[in-house]
Structure 1
């Protein structure tokens, strides 16, 4: 409605200017015609040396008929100039209308691109935008952005899940408790309803798969079950060493039901637990809806990590068992004492080496913990994705900004940016870090209560497989406001003069 009103006003303004221009050209033409008439009479009178009078003018028109032709000059020139002004006005009107149309089209395009830049990917170009080719290209670009965003969310989801699993696997627990924790985590994190872990059990009757842990409907289930190798889907998965996905689950396959009814899962994923191509068990999960490829891939990575732990524990148990057997054989077989003694010493040497390595690892862990504590007390840390969305903040960030981690995570860094900050600083920052370089500069932020605070910020891009996957920011609180403002003004002056440069020692982080 506003656009229509503005368009009508513009048309009325152009029409008014058009009438004014035609009137001015008409007046000029008439004036030139009158001037020509007067000049011709004056010249003829001067040539004949006759004084100016009505009688002389009458004789002039009688003797020289050309003056009758000149007398039509005001009408002729006025008409000519009027038509010329009309042509110019019509051309200008058409040009103005075309310019207005192109301006409106450009405004629509500019608004849509700004919306995409702000992360609004849910809308299409309005129907009033007439360039179909550009519209189709932008639509394909928007779909690509949405696809990249979904892929990034899946990658973050997978990375966070594997990180949490890694913390879980590092805990010192017996295998049954660890299997319970893993299957509980997998069922909840993948939004499934049931899950089970079958581990290889080699006994006197032959190898079989024993149900070590079972979790369903938010409860641990105490069920005893063994499956011979090669029997059923689980036994087949163990032999084939390949993931099996079932979209049509038989009604009597899953025996576990909830108190809400007897609903049968609609999707089943059976994943072999492989460690260096050696299968040590099978992970099975059931869901009411089909798992996408990213979740299946996550299950395979979980199974691989868990299998490594199982194999390590199994190997350690085997070593202990062999050591015990060798000690008993030493007492019974004196003839082989020297050989067995060497074996024992070698095993003891390995154990001592492992002990020293463990002590070194513990000392290293203590040093890392101390450094992390010092870093947490002095440095404002944050992590963000490629679009500047905050994914992690430390306690120092929350302390200085007065926001909680829940209030900050998921927001852009401009959430704490002070409105006085120059946009040019952030333009230089994004140009620097997108090139894989480190940015360092003075930034003014705003606390939750509205008061400002200054930081010396260092933004580091993190690479994975040669590509930037996130940004890590370290900031140091500048408490001297006057000093901070001087540094900021000096920085801004260098940027405006094009003298601002990244330090030569700048380097990026690589997670590989």
Structure 2
């Protein structure tokens, strides 16, 4: 800074000296021009008047032409004018030089800042003496971008190196228990964590996770622990297939849930061993420093690679077991082949018998369908539950009652009951039905338009496993009203419901 001040001071003195010389040179030039103008005016006037160049002639000129007296003042006037012009031009040049020097100093500050960035010093800042705040802000923003890019590149290199080393580790070990132990040791050390553990889904119990390895404070931990799927944060992580991150760890968390020791870390990260949306287990790490987002992303990628190996090993074990089982089955099949050959003839004879039986069943089905059609055309059919609620009606029921099936289903049978029917008949009907006995009788029902129709009804209870489950009613429409009334009166007389006067 001191050398800069000395340089600036010397430049200022040099410029001042040049300005001082320039304005006097301009004054000398003005004086010279003034004298030259006087001489030229006298020579021209003498030549015009044809006078000799003598003092007497000059005296005559000044006496006869007063203009020469005015011209005589031109050296003083031009000297003053040119001196002022020289001074003004010098000051302007000094300002220009000063502006150029300031711009040079500003550019030097930029060069120094860019040189710092080229040398990798991303903490450098633009000098506070730099005047353009907008440019300074843009340059520092560019510096921040470079720093961010450098950090991102360093994180990528760190991650790629870690994944490559972890991949070598996965290829070098085939045993799951040994692999779990080596993997958690590598992860804890590479992430500079303090503790870690690996939980793998139990092969024989899909509801439990077994702790396969535990590593803490630069040494292997020995112990066994089983956690249920969905139990605690480890079980929840396995169940939900999503990472769990704790920055505010409860004091008793480690002791109760993780099995990592008695210390309380400041950061716990739990990630599922997930590959192709299939989870094989869980990795849990704990640290006394906060893990950054790129650490957690690295841990997720490591867990995915680890899960791929575990699932592949499990798959190979399953394939091996299936091959062994298939060999056993092949031996059994060979022993059963002879029995199957012997049974084949029996099956052929049974098949012939079944074909005959099938033909008889088809004929019986056709007969039943024909009977069902005849029954549907001639008989009013309905079904009801234990409370008399209609659950089924056939087309004949709807045709005679003038109601649609939707209007009838869900209604009680008293929906079509005619008001003239005595309640005693229905009381007797329910008494018989609840005993499991059928009911027969002449019933007068009411149509949708309010008119009546007579039916000869038979209602049977349906019994399953000793209990009544529903009722089925079959009714025949009595179209002759006089005949129906005569039958109805006979029924009342039989039941003792007919008064002596009517008889």
- Find out whether 1:142 has 2:143 as its counterpart: yes
User: How far did residue 123 of structure 1 move?
Assistant: 1.2
TM-score, with structure 1 as normaliser: 0.62
Contact 1:124 1:139 in 2 (8 A): yes
Give yes or no for contact 1:208–1:228 (8 Å, CA) kept in 2.
yes
Structure 2 equivalent of residue 171 of structure 1? 172
Does structure 2 retain, via aligned residues, the 8 Å contact 1:193–1:287? yes
Rounded Cα–Cα distance in structure 2 between residues aligned with 1:15 and 1:247: 68
1:188 and 1:138 map into 2 onto residues whose CA distance is 39
The separation in 1 between residues aligned to 2:130 and 2:208, in whole angstroms, is 67
Give the drift of 1:337. Answer: 6.2
Q: After superposition, what is the alpha-carbon deviation per residue over 1:46-73, rounded to whole angstroms, capped at 9, x for unaligned?
A: 3444333333333332232222112111
CA deviation map 1:461-509 (0-9, x unaligned): xxxxxxxxxxxxxxxxxxxxxxxxxxxxxxxxxxxxxxxxxxxxxxxxx
Check conservation: 1:330, 1:336, Cα contact below 8 A.
no
> Secondary structure at 1:170's aligned position in 2?
helix
Cα displacement string for residues 380-432 of structure 1 (whole angstroms, at most 9, x for unaligned residues): xxxxxxxxxxxxxxxxxxxxxxxxxxxxxxxxxxxxxxxxxxxxxxxxxxxxx
Aligned to 1:199: 200
2:240 is equivalent to residue 244 of structure 1: no
What SS does the aligned partner of 1:140 have?
Answer: helix
Correspondences of 1:271-420 after superposition (within 5 Å): 271-336=271-336
Work out the CA distance in 2 between the residues paired with 1:22 and 1:191.
76
How does 1:34-113 map onto structure 2 within 5 Å? 34-113=35-114
Give the Cα separation in 2 of the matches to 1:85 and 1:9: 22
Q: Is the CA contact 1:21–1:89 (under 8 Å) kept in the aligned structure 2? A: yes
- Structure 2 segments unaligned to the other structure (5+ residues): 339-503
The equivalent residue for 1:379 is: none
| 2:213 paired with 1:213 | yes
Kindly indicate whether residue 34 of structure 2 is the aligned counterpart of residue 33 of structure 1.
Answer: yes
Distance 1:241 1:17 in 2: 82
- For residues 275 and 337 of structure 1, the distance between their equivalents in structure 2, rounded to whole angstroms, comes to 43
For these two proteins, the number of residue pairs brought into alignment is 334
Distance 2:120 2:132 in 1: 23
SS across alignment from 1:202:
coil
Residues 336, 281 of structure 1: alpha-carbon distance in 2 compared, 3 angstrom cutoff? farther
Which residue in 1 is equivalent to 2:127? 126
Q: What corresponds to 1:475 in structure 2? A: none
TM-score scaled by length of structure 2: 0.63
Partner Cα distance (2:269, 2:260) in 1: 18
CA distance in 2, matches of 1:182, 1:97: 68
Across the aligned residues of Structure 1 and Structure 2, the Cα RMSD in angstroms comes to 2.0
1:335 is displaced (CA, Å) by: 4.3
The runs of 5 or more residues in structure 1 that have no matched partner are 339-512
Partners of 1:195 and 1:214 within 8 A in 2: yes
Cα deviations by residue, 1:345-384 (Å, 9 ceiling, x for unpaired): xxxxxxxxxxxxxxxxxxxxxxxxxxxxxxxxxxxxxxxx
Distance 1:48 1:271 in 2: 118
User: Which residue of structure 2 aligns with residue 434 of structure 1?
Assistant: none
* 3-state SS of paired residue (1:81): helix
Say which one has the larger Rg: 2
What is the alpha-carbon distance in structure 1 between the residues aligned to residue 242 and residue 226 of structure 2?
20
Paired with 1:2 and 1:162, the residues of 2 have a C-alpha distance of 53
Question: Structure 1 CA distance, aligned partners of 2:304 and 2:260?
Answer: 28
Cα offset, 1:242, TM superposition: 1.0
Assess if the C-alpha contact under 8 Å between 1:37 and 1:70 holds in 2.
Answer: yes
The superposition leaves residues 197-230 of structure 1 with CA deviations (integer Å, 9 ceiling, x where unpaired) of 1111133x66411111110000011111111222
The runs of at least 4 consecutive aligned structure 1 residues that moved more than 6 Å come to: none
Task: Give, in angstroms, the shift of residue 336 of structure 1.
Answer: 5.0
Distance 2:44 2:102 in 1: 54
